[in-house]
Amino acid sequence: MENILSILVFFPAVAGLLGFVVTKESIRAYGIAVTLVVFLLTLWLWFSFDMNNPGIQFVEMIPLIPDFGISYYLGADGISLFIIVMTALMTLIGMASMGETKNIKNMIISLLFLEMTMIGVFVALDAIIFYLFWELSLVPMLYIIGAWGGPLRVYASIKFFLYTFTGSLLMLVGMLFMAYIYHNLTGVWSFAVTDWYALVLPVDYQIWLFAAFFIGFAIKVPMFPFHTWIPYAHGQAPTIGSVILAAILLKMGTYGFVRFSLPLFPDASVMAITPIAVLSLIMVVYTAMIAYAQKDMKQVIAYSSVSHMGIIMLGLFAMNAEGLGGSIFQMLSHGIVSGALFMLVGMIYDRRHTKLLSEFGGLASVMPKFAIIFGVMLMASVGLPLTIGFVGEFLVLLGFYKVSPMITIIAGTSIILGAVYMLRVMKLAFFGPLNNEANQKLKDLNARETWSLVPLVAIVIWLGVYPKPVLEPINNSVNALLAFMDEKAITKEAKDMIHVSNSFESGRPTLSIAGGK
Amino acid sequence: MIGLSHYLIVSAIIFSIGLIGVLRRRNLLMLFFATEIMLNAVNIAFAAISHYYNDLTGQMFAFFIIAIAASEVAVGLGILIVLYKKHGSLDLDDLASMRG
Amino acid sequence: MENLVYIALFAPFAGSLFASLFGMKEREIFVGVVASILIFISFLASALLAANLYMTGEVIHVRMMDWIAVGDFNVGFGFVVDHISVTMMSVVTLVSTVVHIYAIGYMDHDRSFNRFFSYLSAFVFSMMILVMSDNFLGLFIGWEGVGVCSWLLVGFWYHKEDKPKEENPSISPSWAANEAFIMNRIADLGMLIGIFILYWNTGSLRYDEVFAQLPYLSETVLAGAAIALFIGAMGKSAQFPLHTWLTDAMEGPTPVSALIHAATMVTAGVFLVVRSNPLYAMPEVSGVSMFIASLGTFVAFYAASMALVERDLKRIIAYSTLSQLGYMFAAAGLGAYWIALFHLAAHAFFKALLFLGGGNVMHAMNDELDLFKMGNLKKEMRATWLYMGFASIALAGLPPLAGFWSKDAIIETAFNEQTYILWFMLVVTAGMTAFYSFRQVFLSFHGEDRHTPLGFHPHEMYTFALVAMFPLAVLALITGWFMSAYKVFIYHIGESVQYEMSEHTHHLAIYLGLLVIFIVLASIAYAYMKYARTGDKAWKRDEAKEQGFFYKLLKNQYYVPKFYEEFITKPYSMISEKFWTGVDLKIVDATVDNIAKFFYTTGDKTRSMQTGNLSNYLNWMAVGGVILLAVAAVSAIFM
């Protein structure tokens, strides 16, 4: 199984092509079977992953255009491993829970192609291959929003496509420039990320390149003020679209920061801490307040997603293992929790064909199972200890406290504001008397819906109580990344920053990365 | 003594005549003639410069252009005839089906 | 012994899981019985651990498993059974057992009976994590856990609808639940910050390791940690200004009020301060400690004043809880940690008793809580009358009941520390406490019968529930007698918890005690004169007086909830709305759309160049050619 990553990438695509000849009646079972196989393969990947090795594993490399150093270059490390597993899991569960019946065949095939591109992004180690999958992922999503979406679907899908596309073009320019510099300095062309890592760039180059990559990633995350495509995309997308979008596509942005920005431009990253922290704070507080004002249940979750991504961004730039590790853990946690919340909203939408909070009230009496699962996900979303949401959020705030106590206190309001908007949804939708006629005959979750949510509930609690199996490999890779950044940084400020954020107040160095250990 | 510059001036004048023809004429057939004039102006320049540098490439190129122009006219006139049969006119102002 | 620790911790969890299996089914009495038995097992284990600790003095540390480990951060699930935690464990499980048994009777007719027990046992489990944990993060798990259980239990009758504030000050159970959760979250942020400060300065979150490092820390760090942790304590223990949730939380079922909002959860803040006593005892943070004592005293007085005019039975008891928590903080702030802990335990017993008695009244009166609609209930409810009267004596602080010993020690401490202002306020509050507790007893159980004309036919509670309350009554009586024994027991924990009165105070103690007893007796007598008599001298409602300024001020809780509504809740909604419609849609999104629109309109405008006329195109081509030539010429000349 040396080619496990290639299999992971291309199996869904080939299966998707074959899907065209499968009959309409059996396409759903076919899709679930394929994604299940992919998920099992990712589990195999996890178990055969060497946890003690912080480096890149399962490497595959085939030169494609040797003259320009472009090659088919894949690999996974502790950071990408779990995002890949989560991608496969959420695609599987999203597909299993899907209530869509219109053009089901096209939907399943689009999803399989989407799965290929998503896994491709997370395993690609060649910038061109990365870019290829990054852009390809837009196409199935455009189609899913545009064909199965709500009344404003065309506007929403075009906005989604053009906005993210514009950003990634700037990123492409950055990549080409990076390769050009590499060629200038070494005399050979290469687009391999690992080759680029070795390059020590002057600070002004770093800043410009950081900016170019930043635009591409920031729009995807989406960071304030580039976030306005997301309420439309979520608002119009079908349930499955929102689940995939929130759970996985947004993580591509934050993953990009970890894979490219931090190791390639350590000095620029350290310089960017304050501006990024400010943007993240705005994301955390401002979008949490907007989420409170929403009248549509799905929009609350959409804006809360942005708010949580703010916490993730903050952690990425904490420059210590606590913050960075917590941030990567939070990516997984947000993927599962927000995915589940979007699925839940989708289920009530399937029944009532509305998502307006004013239409609901007292649902807990007619749909107790639904209310319980929503409650669990709500608590995970507001970061209750012993749920998955706490571990990441706590570590991020802990890590960033070392960088700036003041910013951490403001960002910490997310635990308050998150509770404010989520509890409002809970109260308006589930509590109170059951006044609306239309709600009185609602059926509770059926077997398909229940069994697609139960695994997520189990994961939410399992990783909240015992996050070690996931945190350990993340921790190894994160420590290696920080050590690398520390070694590579050229300005004194950057080196100091990395040292300070990794040591205790008494000055005792804790950093395994500072050498030693 | 007639030098290179004289040839070039003549070439430029003929080219300008052709250009004005291209800009002012409305009849497609006339446009063809105007293009022929421009091509031949260039031919003159080619031949003159070729002679001046003692390099036959320029004169070869002039022949080449003559050949291309001939085939172009052959194809072009064919199209013109079809157009005339279809529209009954060769006036450019009547042929604006590609309006954006 | 390790097994006992696990039994004490996980028996309630097992009970909760068991009850939740039947969560959506019809009411099953055995669910309540099994849950009660499991809590009782937990109590037995705690009691055995306490006995063991008393005999051998051996503190038990258990590390169950790793939890979060990243970088140098490594926190596991670890538990410690020492003198402080074992006190809390015993109190919590004992009161929980009684409340569980009582709730079988109280929740008898509720269709969500099983669900109730699953929540209640989950609460006990969280509370046990809170008190047993050997590190701050473990404490935080329990801290948030009890918060969620409180949210679930306050909002237990979630189906009730929102009422206007004039009709029901706490609007609805779900509203009160959300208020409690959110207000606690505000405080939890403070606590998290405290945890961050301690971690980055000591490199650990375990109590023993953190406390060992304290002498090496700077003053700002110590003060920062002390303040941040206390903010956390303020939320959970409902200290001003985060106190409004506690009275609103009375929307929950009464056993919940007895267990969570009187005996256990709300004392978690006091527990936190006592637990971190080495930190608060540092001379560098004496300012913070003084602030804690002052705030505690203020809250004691403030809450008691609001109880003076309240008509709602449960809210009066809630105010008294608030007031007693103030006493505890006063003691802890003044350095008498063990007295605070002792008062916490004594208070848990008599306050739970009082609340359960209130529950009996509520049960009898079909959930009517207005004291003005009761009167002379002792005729129908003799046992409840005895229990409540007894608990009120304990609360008022008359010897030989529990409340006297612990409360007197706190008042004495304030005198001993020469903080005479605090001492004076605490003494006055003691008088007020006696007055309002007996006002409530007399208005409900004595005086003219006002309920029969209104059509109420009260009946006594089930016998087994009354029997279940009996242990609490016994404890409310005897706890105080063991004060000196407890002192010896807890002194083992270390120097910072030891507190002795000076020689001077010792001499005066008897007079101080007598003064307090006199004031208390006078207040009770006044309450009796005013509310308990019948016939011509019977109490009459004075509508005119209710319009007075002070009456209205107290009745409206000093307008604090109103202030929160007008200056926090409403502006927050308004700003949120503005951010959404005014900023996000009109500015941020509009900018993006305008950029897109610019390209679109540019294309649209320049479209007219495409006339479709060939000669026109040729003209443009010529123009282009000329421009290119010109550019080439110009650059050839100037370059």
Shortest CA distance from C625: residue in chain B:
B19
**Which residue has 């801490």 as its token pair?**
A273
Using one digit for the tens of pLDDT, what is the confidence trace for C496-523? 888 888 888 888 888 888 999 999 999 9
Provide ipTM, 2 decimals: 0.92
Are B97 and C612 in contact (CB < 8 Å)? yes
Q: Which residues of A24-38 are buried (b: 16+ CB within 10 A; e: fewer)?
A: eeebbebbbebbebb
For range C99-109, the mean pLDDT: 89
pLDDT value, residue A517 = 30
Q: Is C216 part of the contact surface with chain A (CB cutoff 8 Å)?
A: yes
Is the CB of C614 inside 8 Å of chain B's CB atoms? yes
Least confident of A170-184, C3-17, C436-450: C436-450
For chain C, give me the number of helices (H) and strands (E)? Answer: 26, 2
d(CA C544, CA C75): 61
Contact B49, B58 (CB under 8 A): yes
- Measured CA to CA, the distance from residue A133 to residue B31 in angstroms comes to 51
Do residues A89 and A340 touch, judged by C-beta distance below 8 A?
Answer: no
The answer to whether C288 touches C223, Cβ cutoff 8 Å, is yes
Query: Touching check for A467 and chain C: CB below 8 Å?
Result: yes
Of B19, B31, B99, the CB nearest to C612: B99
Return the H-helix or E-strand segment holding C547: none
β-partners of residue A63 are A71
Interacting residues of A306 by C-beta distance below 8 A, sequence separation 6+ = A222, A224, A227, A230, A283, A287
Q: Which of B19, B95, B100 is facing C614, going by the closest CB pair?
A: B95
In three-state secondary structure terms, B41 is helix
What pLDDT is recorded for position A516? Answer: 33
Q: List the chains bordering chain B where 3 or more Cβ pairs fall under 8 Å.
A: C
| DSSP tag of C480 | G
Residues of chain A with pLDDT under 70: 1, 505-517
Helix, strand, coil tally for chain C in percent (to 5): 80, 5, 20
Distance CA C366, CA C457 (A): 9
The C-alpha atoms of residue C238 and residue C240 are separated, in whole angstroms, by 7
Chain C interface includes A516 (CB < 8 A) = no
Closest-approach residue (CA) in chain C for B35: C618
Distance (Å, rounded) from C-alpha A125 to C-alpha A190? 11
Helix (H) or strand (E) holding C69: strand C60-70
C185 contacts chain A (CB < 8 A): yes
Residue C162 is given by DSSP the state P
C287: amino acid identity, one letter: G
C286 lies within 8 A of chain A by CB:
no
List chain A residues with CB under 8 Å of C581. 293
Q: Does C64 touch chain A (CB under 8 A)?
A: no
Residues from chain C that touch A465, judged by Cβ atoms under 8 A, are 67
> Nearest chain C Cα to B25, which residue?
C615
User: Which of B19, B92, B100 lies nearest to residue C614, judging by beta carbons?
Assistant: B92
Enumerate neighbours of C (3 or more CB pairs within 8 A): A, B
List all residues 6 or more positions away from C315 whose beta carbon is below 8 Å from its beta carbon. Answer: C169, C247, C250, C307, C369
The C-alpha torsion from A196 through A200 and A204 to A210, rounded to 10°, is 30
- Residue C618 to residue B93, Cβ atoms within 8 A: no
- Asked whether the beta carbons of residue C172 and residue A432 sit closer than 8 angstroms, the reply is yes
**C131-137 mean pLDDT:** 93
Interface partners of chain A (CB pairs < 8 Å, 3 or more) are C
CB–CB of A467/A393 below 8 Å? no
Is residue A183 exposed (0-12), middle (13-18) or buried (19+ Cβ within 10 Å)? middle
Of C24, C148, C199, nearest to A398 by CB-CB distance is C199
Test B23 with C613 for CB contact under 8 angstroms: no
φ, ψ dihedrals at A256, nearest 5°: -55, -40
Dist. CA C303–CA C239, nearest whole Å? 10
pTM: 0.90
**How many angstroms separate the CA atoms of C613 and A349, rounded?**
55
Where b means 16+ CB within 10 Å and e means fewer, B47-77 reads: bbbbeeeeeeebbebbeebeeebeeeeeebe
B contacts of C602 (beta carbons < 8 Å) = none
Nearest to A391 by CA among A448, A498, A472: A472
pLDDT digit string (tens) for A151-190? 999 999 999 999 999 999 999 999 999 999 999 999 899 9
Cα–Cα distance between A309 and A247 in angstroms, integer? Answer: 11
- How far apart are the C-alpha atoms of C349 and C343, rounded to whole Å? 10
What are the DSSP calls for C320-336, one per residue?
HHHHHHHHHHHHHHTT-
Q: What is the gyration radius of the CA atoms in chain C, in angstroms? A: 31
- Rounded CA-CA distance C313/C359 in Å is 10
Give the tens place of pLDDT for each residue, C521-577: 999 999 988 888 887 777 777 777 788 888 888 888 888 888 998 999 999 999 999
Q: Under CATH, to which class is B4-95 assigned?
A: mainly alpha
B71 at C interface, C-beta within 8 A: no
Task: Give, in order, the Cα–Cα distances in Å from A176 to each of A68, A171, A201, A249.
Answer: 11, 9, 15, 23
In tens, the pLDDT along C356-397 reads 999 989 888 888 888 888 888 888 888 899 999 999 999 998
Burial of C511 (0-12, 13-18, 19+ CB in 10 A): exposed
Tell me, yes or no, whether chains C and A touch by having 3 or more C-beta pairs under 8 A.
yes
Residues 6+ apart with CB under 8 A from C384: C357, C360, C361, C364, C377, C460, C461, C466
Closest Cα in chain B to C604: B100
Chain C contact set for B25 (CB, 8 A) = 615
CB pairs under 8 A between B and C: 36
CB C328 within 8 A of CB C297: no
**How near does any CA of chain C get to the CA of B84, in Å?**
16
Q: Which residues contact A495 (CB under 8 A, 6 or more apart)?
A: A486, A489
Check CB contact under 8 Å for A368 and C203: no
Token pair for C418: 């020469």
Residue among C23, C192, C200 whose CB faces A504 most closely: C200
The tokens for C533 are 């008599």
B98 → chain C, closest CA residue: C612
Nearest Cα of chain C lies from the Cα of A73 at a distance, in angstroms, of: 30
**Residue C536 touches partner A, C-beta closer than 8 Å:** no
Distances A304 to A198, A246, A333 between C-alpha atoms, Å: 38, 10, 14
User: Are A321 and C70 within 8 A, CB to CB?
Assistant: yes
Q: According to the model, what pLDDT value does residue A255 have?
A: 94
Q: Which of A229, A398, A478, A517 to mutate to test the interface with C (most CBs of C within 10 A)?
A: A398
| Per-residue pLDDT, A158 | 92
CB contact under 8 A, A419 and C189: no
Q: Name the residue with tokens 């699930």.
A: C77
H-helix segments, A98-126: 104-123
A with B: touching (≥3 Cβ pairs within 8 Å): no
Cβ atoms B28, B73 nearer than 8 A: no
Residue A323's CB is within 10 A of a number of other CB atoms, namely: 29
- Cβ neighbors of C544 (< 8 A, separation 6 or more) are none
Cβ distance of C622 and B22 shorter than 8 Å? yes
Residues C615, B95: C-beta atoms closer than 8 Å: no
Which residues, including other chains, have CB under 8 Å from residue C82's CB and lie 6 or more apart? Answer: C53, C59, C60, C493
Dihedral of the CA atoms A478, A484, A489, A493 (nearest 10)?
40
Q: What is the mean pLDDT of chain C?
A: 90
pLDDT at position A515: 35
Q: Measuring CA to CA, which residue among A384, A414, A382 is closest to residue A397?
A: A414
* Chain position carrying tokens 């409540």: C388
Interface contact C144-A163, CB threshold 8 A = no
Tell me the DSSP string of C19-64: HHHTTTS---HHHHHHHHHHHHHHHHHHHHHHHHHHHH-PPEEEEE
Q: What is the pLDDT of residue A514?
A: 37
Contacts of A502 in chain C (CB under 8 A): 71
Residue A4: partners with Cβ closer than 8 Å, 6 or more residues away: A41, A44, A45, A48, A58
CA distance B53 to A174: 48
Q: Do A397 and C70 touch (CB under 8 A)?
A: no
R_g over Cα of chain B: 17
CA distances, A411 to each of A228, A415, A471 (Å)? 21, 8, 23
Chain A environment of C148 (Cβ under 8 Å): 379, 384
Option in C608, C611, C619 nearest B23 (CB) = C619
Q: What is the mean pLDDT of residues C270-277?
A: 93
- Return the closest-CA partner of residue C395 out of C353, C450, C340: C353
pLDDT value of position A505:
65
* C145: nearest Cα among C113, C121, C114, C117: C121
Nearest CB to B26 within list C611, C612, C615: C615
pLDDT at C266 over 70: yes
A430 touches chain C (CB under 8 A): yes
In the prediction, which pLDDT does A101 show?
77
Centroid of chain to Cα A494: 27
DSSP A410-450: HHHHHHHHHHHHHHHHHHHHHSS----GGGTT-----HHHH
